[in-house]
Amino acid sequence: MKIEKLAENKLITIQNQLQKNNIIFSWKNFEKSGFPYRVVNRLDSVKIKTNNMDIFLKNLDIVYQPWNLKHILIKTTEKIDILYLNNNIIIFPDILGSIVIREDKEKRVSINFEKIHIIIDEYIHEISKPEVYIREKNNNNLEYSIKIKELFFLPVFSEKNSIRNLLVNGELINYREFNFNNFYNWFANQGGVDVTFFNLNINQILVKGNAFLGIDENLDIQSSISIESDELDDLIIILKNENFLTKRLFETLSIVIKAIEISSNNIPKFSINIQNGYLSFMGIKIVNIPNFKVLNSN
């Protein structure tokens, strides 16, 4: 009974803390079950609302285990519907989250999904079996690791040319100042995403590297990416065949890649930059990149 009351009070505390940051976390019905082996708080008709995002799910179970109150499970067998800036995101069950609170009050979080659909315009992009792992550090940074079995980002990365076995490790800089309702302000002035390592393959083409992502005061993306691959020429053939690259641009990139491959003693390294609204490969402009102004609701 003490654990039941503790769990209920903790849930209300979380709700109030989110409300202070203008994040509304609400539900219609609240049921308890599982006693004495565990304490399950089932929330029905859950809604989470921020300035730009609305999240809906039919039910959510928050599970406390009497033998370890610092290990909390969060799960649902229902899909989650997210409306974000008029784009639809659907997260399919089963979804399982685990929160472990250490003695020093630092937290470790893991979340496993079955599948995510991101619907933008006429395309349905799919993320298959994503896993997210997060760990607090003593400083203001948050360690993360993301694993994805397969990624279809249409029209280029389709079933024919999907991104497989994607692994991303890094840190969210100064995450304690992060706020969903004005994250663009945090991104431009205090935070950033550090990618210490990423690895993926596309049609057996292996690519790995590191990166940093931030934005400037004008909300333009500022990013530097370093990649390693001795099969990059095969990748740009895929991009050309999917009409992502023009014939002239393809020929220019082929010459640059070949020159770097010849001059490299080991696996060739290449630089990609996003600056002033353009993504550039080795100084060659490839594609225009929109900025974050659309996210500024003020």
Per-residue pLDDT of the chain (298 residues; tens, 9 = 90+): 777 777 788 888 889 988 988 899 999 988 888 777 788 889 999 999 988 899 999 999 999 877 777 888 999 999 999 998 888 999 998 889 998 987 777 889 999 999 999 998 889 999 999 999 999 877 789 999 999 999 999 988 988 899 999 999 999 999 888 877 777 888 888 889 999 999 999 999 999 999 999 998 888 899 999 999 999 999 999 999 989 999 999 999 999 999 999 998 899 999 999 998 899 999 999 999 888 765 554 4
Distance CA 185, CA 179 (A): 9
Distance CA 67, CA 239 (A): 54
pTM over 0.75: yes
Question: Cα angle vertex 171, ends 182, 104, to 5°?
Answer: 95
Expressed in angstroms, the distance from the first to the final Cα of the chain is 46
- One-letter amino acid for residue 293 of the chain: K
Give the orientation angle of helix 247-263 with respect to helix 232-241, to 10 degrees. Answer: 180
Q: What is the pLDDT of residue 298?
A: 44
Query: Token pair of 118, please?
Result: 């991101």
Residue pair 202/157 in contact by the 8 Å Cβ criterion: yes
